[in-house]
């Protein structure tokens, strides 16, 4: 049985953006930092290229560095070998789902949510149980959603801060989710890829509430190393060995060069916090400007670098809307159908991981466009 995998429509917008002539495009369609890797990471990579043959390798120093990072950020003591180093969060998700679930298992997740969750689940012959989450829970899963599912799912994916909304699940709700999952025998996979990128207070790790949760992390977002393909699966103590065995068979090891550079990135706090300051400024500018364009149905993002905006008063077709907006204004955004096949036709997602000058330019271009817009 071949699973139906939906395309990533933001890529269609990106391709269209690259075909546009005569317009400088502001790329707000992809969730990727426009800044490069930290300076020390790049310097380290140059040095490694000149001096190291590089081969299959799992860096103990990086595992220890990540353990220190968790101690510093969350006050948790974690054995370094529980970090399985992967080529980003994407393989870490595949790893957790393929090593610990069986075909046909039901996995609950929020809708809207990151497009790959649904598609990876389908590709692995797992069953996505999508839970429509609206403004009342700031588009996030709540324990009550999981409580109501019959039969209980085998797994639950939580993401806080989330893509596409940037909203954070409050600590008390994370605790309730952990309790319900424990009581109902569901394993929790917590995608914490946007940790570090927060504006309203730090995001708690699911591990603080459920020591048996699988946690997914990455160097792609806060550490600004998206194309270096480096991340981790933090597995429960009794499951790390199995996860590592699966990882070796499916992916071998993460790039050696990136592992060396990643270790340096863990220490580049001043540089990385300066990026967060830029995102915070961009977020605030957009949150102030968009309501002036009639776009006021937004859950203000607590983290990540996204604004998920309800444009239902203007369109029933978010893909066509994003294409038109791009062609008319040169501002590229992602259509909501990437994140929500049911209600996403009424939403678009802006990524504000661009410069502040680009954010200001985008606002200036969008203002007259939205002012002239009514639903066809």
Ligand X SMILES: Cc1ncc(COP(=O)(O)O)c(C=O)c1O
C-beta of residue 167 within 8 angstroms of C-beta of residue 133: no
Would you say 94 or 363 has its CB closer to ligand X?
94
Q: According to the binding rule CB under 6 A, does residue 218 interact with ligand X?
A: yes
Among 99, 186, 226, 268, indicate the residue that binds ligand X (CB under 6 A). 226
Peptide bond into 151 cis (omega under 30): yes
Instruction: Choose, by CB under 6 A, the member of 33, 88, 301, 335 that binds ligand X.
Output: 88
By C-alpha distance, which of 104, 57, 1 is closest to 253? 57
Q: Is the dihedral of CA 240, 174, 300, 118 positive or negative?
A: positive
When the beta carbons of 130 and 366 are compared against ligand X, the nearer one is 130
Q: How far is the CB of 2 from ligand X (least distance, A)?
A: 23
Stretch that binds ligand X, among 36-44, 82-90, 309-317, 353-361 (CB under 6 A): 82-90
Asked whether 82 and 237 are in contact (CB, 8 A), the reply is yes
Residue 224 lies near ligand X (rule: CB under 6 A)? no
Segment 17 to 76, residues that bind ligand X, using CB under 6 A = 31
Q: Which stretch binds ligand X (CB under 6 A): 6-14, 55-63, 88-96, 198-206?
A: 88-96
Q: Residue 45: which residues within 8 A CB-CB, separation 6 or more? A: 37, 257, 260, 261
HSE toward the beta carbon, residue 21, CA cutoff 13 A: 0
How many CB atoms within 10 Å of residue 211?
12
Q: Which is nearer to ligand X, 65 or 293 (CB)?
A: 65
Q: Which is nearer to ligand X, 268 or 353 (CB)?
A: 353
Tell the smallest beta-carbon distance from residue 365 to ligand X (Å). Answer: 25
Q: Is 114 in the site for ligand X (CB under 6 A)?
A: yes
SS3 label, residue 43:
helix
Cα(41)–Cα(223) distance, integer angstroms: 10
Residue selected from 45, 89, 146, 289 as contacting ligand X according to rule CB under 6 A: 89
Among 59, 98, 160, 163, binds ligand X (CB under 6 A): 163
Query: Rounded to the nearest whole angstrom, what is the least distance from the CB of residue 90 to ligand X in the complex?
Result: 3
Question: Looking at residue 88, what DSSP letter applies?
Answer: S
What residue is closest to ligand X based on CB?
88
End-to-end CA distance of the chain: 40
Q: Which conformational region is residue 139 in: left (phi greater than 0), alpha (psi within -120 to 50 degrees), or beta?
A: left
Is residue 14 part of the contact set for ligand X (CB under 6 A)?
Answer: no
Please work out the total of residues on this chain that contact ligand X, with binding judged by CB under 6 A: 13
User: Where do contacts with ligand X occur on this chain (CB under 6 A)?
Assistant: 31, 88-90, 114, 159, 163, 191, 193, 218, 220, 226, 231
């Amino acid at each position: 049985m071949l699973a139906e995998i939906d395309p990533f429509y933001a890529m269609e917008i990106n391709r269209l953006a690259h075909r546009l002539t005569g317009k400088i495009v502001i790329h707000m369609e992809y969730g990727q930092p426009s800044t490069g890797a930290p300076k020390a990471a790049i310097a380290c990579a140059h040095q490694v290229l000149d001096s190291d043959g590089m081969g299959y390798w799992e860096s103990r120093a990086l595992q220890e560095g990540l353990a220190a990072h968790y101690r510093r950020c969350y006050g948790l003591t974690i054995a370094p070998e529980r970090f399985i180093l992967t080529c980003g969060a994407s393989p870490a998700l595949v790893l957790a789902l393929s090593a610990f679930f069986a075909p046909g298992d039901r996995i609950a997740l929020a809708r809207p949510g990151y497009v790959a969750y649904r598609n990876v689940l389908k590709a692995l012959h797992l069953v996505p149980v999508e839970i429509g989450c609206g403004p009342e829970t700031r588009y996030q899963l709540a324990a009550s959603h999981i409580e109501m599912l019959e039969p209980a799912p085998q797994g639950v994916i939580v993401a806080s801060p989330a893509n596409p909304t940037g909203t954070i699940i409050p600590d008390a709700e994370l605790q309730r989710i952990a309790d319900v999952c424990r009581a109902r025998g569901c394993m929790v996979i917590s995608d914490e890829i946007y940790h570090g990128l927060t504006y309203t207070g730090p995001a708690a790790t699911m591990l603080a509430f459920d020591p048996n949760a699988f946690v997914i992390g990455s160097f792609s977002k806060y550490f600004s190393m998206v194309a270096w393909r480096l991340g981790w699966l933090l597995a429960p103590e009794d499951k790390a060995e199995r996860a590592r065995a699966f990882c070796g068979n499916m992916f071998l090891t993460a790039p050696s060069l990136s592992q060396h550079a990643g270790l340096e990135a863990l220490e580049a706090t001043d540089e990385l916090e300066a990026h967060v300051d830029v995102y915070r400024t961009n977020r605030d500018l957009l949150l102030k400007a968009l309501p002036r364009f009639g776009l006021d149905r937004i859950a203000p993002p607590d983290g990540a670098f996204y604004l998920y905006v309800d444009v239902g008063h203007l369109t029933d077709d978010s893909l066509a809307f994003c294409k038109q907006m791009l062609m008319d204004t040169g501002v590229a955004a992602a259509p909501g159908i990437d994140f929500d096949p049911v209600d996403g036709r009424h939403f678009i997602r802006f990524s504000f991981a661009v410069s502040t000058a680009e954010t200001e330019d985008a606002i200036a271009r969008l203002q007259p466009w939205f002012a002239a817009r009514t639903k066809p």
